[in-house]
Structure 1
Amino acid sequence: MKRRNFLQQTALAGASLLTASGVSAAGNSIYRQPRTAGSAPVADKPFNLNYAFHDGMFKSHGGADFIDQIKFAYDHGFRSIEDNGMMGRTVDQQKKIGDTLQKLGMNMGVFVITSDNWHWRTTLTTGKQEWIDKMINDCKTAVEVAKRCGAKWMTVVPGNYERSLSLDYQTANVITALRKACTILEPHGLVMVLEMLSDNPDLFLRHSDQAYMICKAVNSPSCKMLFDMYHMQRNEGDIINNLNKSWDEIGYLQIGDNPGRKEPGTGEMNYKNIFKHIHGKGYKGILGMEHGNFQKGTEGELALIKAYREADNFM
């Protein structure tokens, strides 16, 4: 189904929600008439910060095609995407996404730099050559993927805790592996961002001070931190203070309210204050929308856009 026809069919369904919520006033509408042949796009103004959505977040409005979702999101003020599974897409898909972003003046955020989810196993912490070789090969592949889709950042997770080794030996093994990866990425100006996760206690990298120390030890512009505020709220809290402490090694930010891992305003975190603080520090990078939609369908997507407009309204 063509994007403009799909939007026309959903306009009536979304109209009542917008009127009831008071966001349909001139200049603040989060729903726009679809593009028509030969006409220029009518887009909402960009946000104060650069939020990046992912595939599926706007499928009820844009359809199953990620390209059409990108165009819909652009019309509503978003200027970046992220795509964890970019390395698994076909070369043709990677190029089409990159071309679309370039034409719209949008940015590509992170993709995950693993070919077979090795980061969910006990890997770089072991110091074993087989895992270092796998990472080096994935980095070489990632360089080509990044060229096609216009990416600069890629997510890396060092793997699980190796219980046969002390924490210090594991840390040294991770630093050694990451330094070797940087020799592949650095000549291309690419940056791997280390993500601290809260999914399970077996994961090696869980706290901001730990990632900060590793980045300092690797000592490369191609190795920085991915500060996912959802995971960090679960693992350590004190988000603003911990952002400040590790700021010079943070290369990328991600969003998700807690509990639930949905859009801002659905949990306990005060994202308006957090966004204001990040903006005040002069952050010009991407904030990945690494969460689900609180509500399903077209109404849920409109509510998500409204939530970001409200949280981003800190000026």
Structure 2
Amino acid sequence: MDRRKFIGSSLLAGLAITGVTSCVASNAIEMNPSSDILSLTDRQKWLAPFSCNIEQWFRPMPFLDRIDAAKALGFSAVEIWNPNQAKRGKTPESIAERAKSLGMRVTSYSPKPPPMADPNNAKKFMAWIETVISSGKTLNVRNFNLTGHRVVEGLSMEQMVSNYTQMLRLAVPRLEAENMVATIEPYNPFNHKGDFLYGNEPALSICREINSPSVKLNWDFFHMQRTNGNLITHLENGFDQVAYIQFADSQVENQPGTGEVAYGKVFTRLRELGYTGYIGAEFFPENKDNLRAASDLAKLAKSINLQPSV
């Protein structure tokens, strides 16, 4: 079997496993007005503001085929984690090639840095920054999510934050020269034990202290809700440092409508504040039903007339 036939058959098999059966099923849905699944045409329109996180969607489909699967559901953009994992079928070159062939855009990537609170990692971190910059150029993406905030034993919270900040300062000249943006992604203490950046602070203060267009925040609403709550007020207070957005419903980490967050109001306020970028759908589709999750997300966007990303 040649490569295109293999990809096509594996894609259909993967979609069948994960909630999208085939083009025939898709056509049947569109011709059935009583179905509560939005048509592909409607999904394409209303999923335009979102970027599908193909690390959490479409498991266990081969990685590159997940880009095809995201397009089949109606997405026009995807986000990824570490692109340099050749053993998992992931390289910046292969991802960029597949996305380009499908007319899909990569909006963000999340390579894993060495622990940045450990000053002994400075050389390793700067070598990692060069790899990150190279990957971004290949993927045609300016922004990457930055973590690296694992607890370092023997150091106080104040020492870890200071070391983390100083490590970032080392990278700023290279990032600014390449017009790249590192978006610090704080976690939450329930899903990510053993880190020291949770919720809006101290990450927000770190960005303001560094005061560079190349160091901003990935404001992940899932982590912010689990850590701080009061999503809209905190977003308003920190919006000047926001460069990228991700979300999942809390506490279940599935699509909006499965948990406690009024995402219609949150997304409406996000656009009112002036955020025009992609909104990263970094969640696990409930019951691994990707078609249902995509339709639910599109319905939410339609209900509030959420405008596409620009």
With structure 1 as the length reference, what TM-score do the two structures score?
Answer: 0.80
> Which residue of the partner structure matches residue 265 of structure 2?
273
Q: State how far apart, in whole Å, the 1-side matches of 2:127 and 2:216 are.
A: 20
Q: State how far apart, in whole Å, the 1-side matches of 2:287 and 2:26 are.
A: 13
- Letter in structure 1 aligned against 2:247: I
**Is residue 83 of structure 2 the alignment partner of residue 86 of structure 1?**
yes
> Which residue of the partner structure matches residue 3 of structure 2?
none
- Count, aligned residues: 288
Q: Find the partner of 1:244 among 236, 253, 257.
A: 236
Q: Find the partner of 1:101 among 89, 99, 105.
A: 99
Greater Cα shift, 176-185 or 14-23: 14-23
Closer, same or farther in 2 for the Cα pair 1:223/1:284, shift >3 Å?
same
Greater Cα shift, 2-11 or 151-160: 2-11
> Which residue of the partner structure matches residue 144 of structure 2?
154
Is contact 1:51–1:288 with CA below 8 Å preserved after alignment? yes
Greater Cα shift, 221-230 or 8-17: 8-17
> Which residue of the partner structure matches residue 256 of structure 2?
264
Q: State how far apart, in whole Å, the 2-side matches of 1:65 and 1:84 are.
A: 15
Q: Find the partner of 2:8 among 3, 8, 33.
A: 3
- Letter in structure 1 aligned against 2:77: S
Q: Give % identity.
A: 23
Could you tell me which runs of 5 or more consecutive residues in structure 2 were left unpaired when the two chains were aligned. 1-5, 306-310
Shift of 1:2: 4.2
For the residue of structure 2 that corresponds to 1:81, the secondary structure is: strand
> Which residue of the partner structure matches residue 112 of structure 2?
114
Q: State how far apart, in whole Å, the 2-side matches of 1:99 and 1:235 are.
A: 38
Q: State how far apart, in whole Å, the 2-side matches of 1:20 and 1:260 are.
A: 30
With structure 2 as the length reference, what TM-score do the two structures score?
Answer: 0.81
Q: State how far apart, in whole Å, the 2-side matches of 1:52 and 1:312 are.
A: 14
**Is residue 69 of structure 2 the alignment partner of residue 77 of structure 1?**
no
Closer, same or farther in 2 for the Cα pair 1:197/1:253, shift >3 Å?
same
Q: State how far apart, in whole Å, the 2-side matches of 1:29 and 1:14 are.
A: 8
Could you tell me which runs of 5 or more consecutive residues in structure 1 were left unpaired when the two chains were aligned. 33-42
Q: State how far apart, in whole Å, the 1-side matches of 2:251 and 2:133 are.
A: 35
- Letter in structure 2 aligned against 1:78: F
Q: State how far apart, in whole Å, the 2-side matches of 1:174 and 1:56 are.
A: 28
**Is residue 293 of structure 2 the alignment partner of residue 304 of structure 1?**
yes
Closer, same or farther in 2 for the Cα pair 1:223/1:58, shift >3 Å?
same
Is contact 2:236–2:273 with CA below 8 Å preserved after alignment? no
Q: State how far apart, in whole Å, the 2-side matches of 1:172 and 1:2 are.
A: 48
Q: State how far apart, in whole Å, the 1-side matches of 2:215 and 2:171 are.
A: 9
Is contact 2:85–2:91 with CA below 8 Å preserved after alignment? no
Shift of 1:16: 7.3
**Deviation digits for residues 174-207 of structure 1 (CA, Å, limit 9, x no counterpart):** 1111010222222111111111111345311112
Greater Cα shift, 239-248 or 286-295: 286-295
Q: State how far apart, in whole Å, the 2-side matches of 1:207 and 1:75 are.
A: 34
**Is residue 220 of structure 2 the alignment partner of residue 220 of structure 1?**
no
Q: State how far apart, in whole Å, the 2-side matches of 1:141 and 1:106 are.
A: 23
Larger relative contact order (C-alpha < 8 A, sep ≥ 6)? 2
> Which residue of the partner structure matches residue 50 of structure 2?
50
> Which residue of the partner structure matches residue 22 of structure 1?
35
Closer, same or farther in 2 for the Cα pair 1:266/1:132, shift >3 Å?
same
Q: State how far apart, in whole Å, the 2-side matches of 1:204 and 1:67 are.
A: 33
**Deviation digits for residues 193-239 of structure 1 (CA, Å, limit 9, x no counterpart):** 11111134531111213111000111111111111111111111111
- Letter in structure 1 aligned against 2:243: G
For the residue of structure 1 that corresponds to 2:256, the secondary structure is: coil
